[in-house]
Amino acid sequence: MSLYSRIIGTGGFLPESVLTNRDIEDIIDTSDEWIRGRTGIRKRHVVRDGESCSELAEFASRRALEAAGLEPAEIDLIVVATTTPDQIFPSTACLLQRRLDIRGCCAFDVQAVCAGFVYALGVADQFIRAGSARRALVVGAETMSRLLDWQDRATAVLFGDGAGAVVLEADRNPGIISSHLHADGSYVDLLQVPGGIGGDRNEDHYLEMKGNEVFKMSVTTLCRIVDETLKANGMQKSDIDWLVPHQANIRIIRATARKLDLPMDRVVVTVDEHANTSAASIPLAFDVAVRDGRIRRGETVLMEGFGAGFTWGSVLLEY
């Protein structure tokens, strides 16, 4: 019989420090009305000095493990999606592994920016389907605030920090139904941090984005991935119970919901509270909706994300 991977636990964690739109008005020339009208964001959580990406990942992971009823030692695969690792190396996954005192299992990072979590989930699913792992910890964790130029009002208002995690377990019944992952490197100049290894921190180490072009590409691409996912599984739009999108912009989220003919009360939206937490946004949103009782066992969920690279993808699952 075929093996599948099923989500058996979720967890999320946000730094304690909160930065509202009103707070940002004191930093740069912008307004709460302007930010909310264009993005839907009201506030974001940001790390303080001394807080690390692996620390956020640890707290989210422990909550996911507790929800799954597992001890850390029962995990045999760790995949962390992050754009903001604590160090160049070792990987954030290995730093998380040390924090959880898990020894010997495979652990690595995935870097696909805002599509990172669907990439990581797709990779972990393949490990389980192949029989190479039985229980996987899949994490999206980011400290995006450390990549921001706080004088650039086009980008500084968009991002926040946080971590979300899920525990996957091998099962004979379908959990993750399919994953669909893509990239096109010809668009790298539209959204990037151009700096590399070496040298002092300067403007090359801040996030740069051509917002209008990215917005248009993301809407078109995410609508296309919806069609691809449904067609691959012989499903209709009405078969989807919940959309858990990457939380970049409320206008992009609404466009994807319209493509699915889903009312907004069937779409998990946390962008107002969390802003764009990149690879952490989908697992954070999913955890919120599972814990507040909206998403229930047996329901069909579509996750989708679009990030720099460009990278994009979807995961269709039965929760």
Dihedral pair phi/psi, residue 234, rounded to 5°: 60, 40
The tally of CA atoms less than 13 A away on the side-chain side of residue 243 is: 30
Q: What is the structure's pLDDT at 202?
A: 61
From 45, 114, 180, 249, active-site residue: 114
Q: Higher pLDDT residue, 200 or 261?
A: 261
234-241-308 Cα angle (round to 5): 80
From 45, 53, 274, 276, active-site residue: 276
Minimal CA–CA distance to 7: which of 312, 259, 295, 223? Answer: 295
Domain ranges of the chain: 4-173, 177-318
114 catalytic per annotation: yes
Q: Higher pLDDT residue, 200 or 67?
A: 67
Interval 52-63 mean pLDDT: 98
From 45, 180, 246, 274, active-site residue: 246
Q: What digits encode the pLDDT tens for the residues 156-204?
A: 999 999 999 999 999 999 999 999 999 999 999 999 999 888 656 566 7
pTM of the model: 0.97
Helices 281-291 and 53-68 pack at an angle, to 10 degrees, of 30
Joined together, the tokens standing for residue 196 give 């590399």
pLDDT band at 2 (very low <50, low <70, confident <90, very high): confident
Q: Spell out the residues 6+ positions from residue 199 whose beta carbon is closer than 8 angstroms to its own.
A: none
Give the separation between CA 212 and CA 217, rounded to whole angstroms: 9
Tell me yes or no: is domain 4-173 CATH 3.90.1150.170: no
Same fold, 4-173 and 177-318: yes
Three-class HEC string of 270-283: CHHHHCECHHHHHH
Q: What is the structure's pLDDT at 213?
A: 96
CATH number, domain 177-318:
3.40.47.10
205 catalytic per annotation: no
Task: Fill in the amino acid letter for 139.
Answer: V
Give the separation between CA 188 and CA 245, rounded to whole angstroms: 22
Round the average pLDDT of the chain to a whole number and report it: 96
Q: What is the DSSP string of 210-248?
A: -HHHHHHHHHHHHHHHHHHHHHHTT--GGG--EEEE--S
